[in-house]
Amino acid sequence: MKDHLIIATSGNGHVRIYAAFTAATVETARKIHDVWPTAIAALGRVLTATLITGVMSDNPYRLTVQIKGDGPLGMILAVSNRRGEVKGYLENPHVDLDLNPSGKLDVGAAIGSGTLTVIKDYGLKSPYYGVVPLQNGEVAMDFAYYFTKSEQTPSAVSLGVLVEPDGSVKIAGGLIIQIMPGATEEQIRTLEEKLNELPPLTTMLKSGMTPTDLINEVTGAMGAKILEEVALSYRCDCSRERFLGPLLSLGQGELDGIINEQGLVEVRCHFCNKRYHYRESELKSEQG
């Protein structure tokens, strides 16, 4: 199954559902950053939630999600857009903790206590910032709290990453259900009852259920109207030109020091690990 997101409504438009399959996207991130099991479970959840949040608005914008916890993972950063593209990294990818008491990868302990920051840049004068404290560091509850408190949209969030014994990612996905204005108490109660009955998200995806199947399972007799399908992927948009500007802003003295020591200037992209080399002649030419 290719990575994709399905957007749907239910209950006469009073409930909005986002269901995503993101295994290839998360596996790509794992390979790029050489991420260990507990760490990729955390990064995969953040990438998935960032992808879904990035397509929630009809207006194109650049979405940045930052999780800063006091656990061994350090900072996690992800950036997405309305086209279903995401990139991300974490400060310490080589983290693999003992399983938690439930026998699951202990993402909460790996992230720890801290904050979730969401930045929406519409290309206007000032971006939108939303900052909330982490609730348990498991990512899903943290995003649910963000939607409820920062965007005043009551939401249920489920995120999952299934890591194989060899460390690879075979299953990953997310489900976000949001209650829109006008929803009745009966609709809310029906959804709550259904959500409480559902098995874990990774179990459903592993059984072969698609995002559309997940939506139909959640809505049940309420029915669902599919609005849109979005292809999802890991994509870094870095380039030589993009790094050149910040390099030139360092000033001649600092650049000369680097060149004298190394013979050239090397820049590495945090999102894809690609390295760019700039020689003295090129930098002087750009400086005019």
Q: What is the pLDDT of residue 288?
A: 55
CATH 3.40.50.720, applies to 4-234: no
Q: What is the pLDDT of residue 284?
A: 66
Q: What is the pLDDT of residue 59?
A: 77
Q: Which of 12, 17, 13, 16 is nearest to 213 (CA)?
A: 17
Residue type, 148: T
Q: Is the pTM of this model over 0.75?
A: yes
User: For the chain, what are the domain ranges?
Assistant: 4-234, 240-287
3-state secondary structure of 6: strand
Q: What is the pLDDT of residue 9?
A: 96
Report how far apart the first and last C-alpha atoms of the chain are (Å, whole number). 51
Q: Which of 15, 7, 4 is nearest to 219 (CA)?
A: 15
Domain 240-287 falls in which CATH fold? CBS domain Like (3.90.1280)
pLDDT tens over the chain, length 288 residues: 999 999 999 988 899 999 999 999 999 999 999 999 999 999 999 999 999 999 998 777 899 999 999 999 999 999 999 999 999 999 999 999 999 999 999 999 999 999 999 999 988 888 999 999 999 999 999 999 999 999 999 999 999 999 999 999 999 999 999 999 988 888 888 888 888 889 999 999 999 999 999 999 999 888 899 999 999 999 999 998 888 878 777 766 777 777 777 777 888 999 999 999 887 767 766 665
Q: What is the pLDDT of residue 147?
A: 96
* Burial class of residue 193 in the structure, from the number of CB atoms within 10 Å of its CB (0-12 exposed, 13-18 middle, 19+ buried): exposed
Give ∠ CA 89-91-237 in degrees, rounded to 5.
25
Q: 34 in the Ramachandran plot: left (φ > 0), alpha (ψ -120 to 50) or beta?
A: left
Residue type, 212: T
Element (DSSP H or E) covering residue 172: strand 169-179
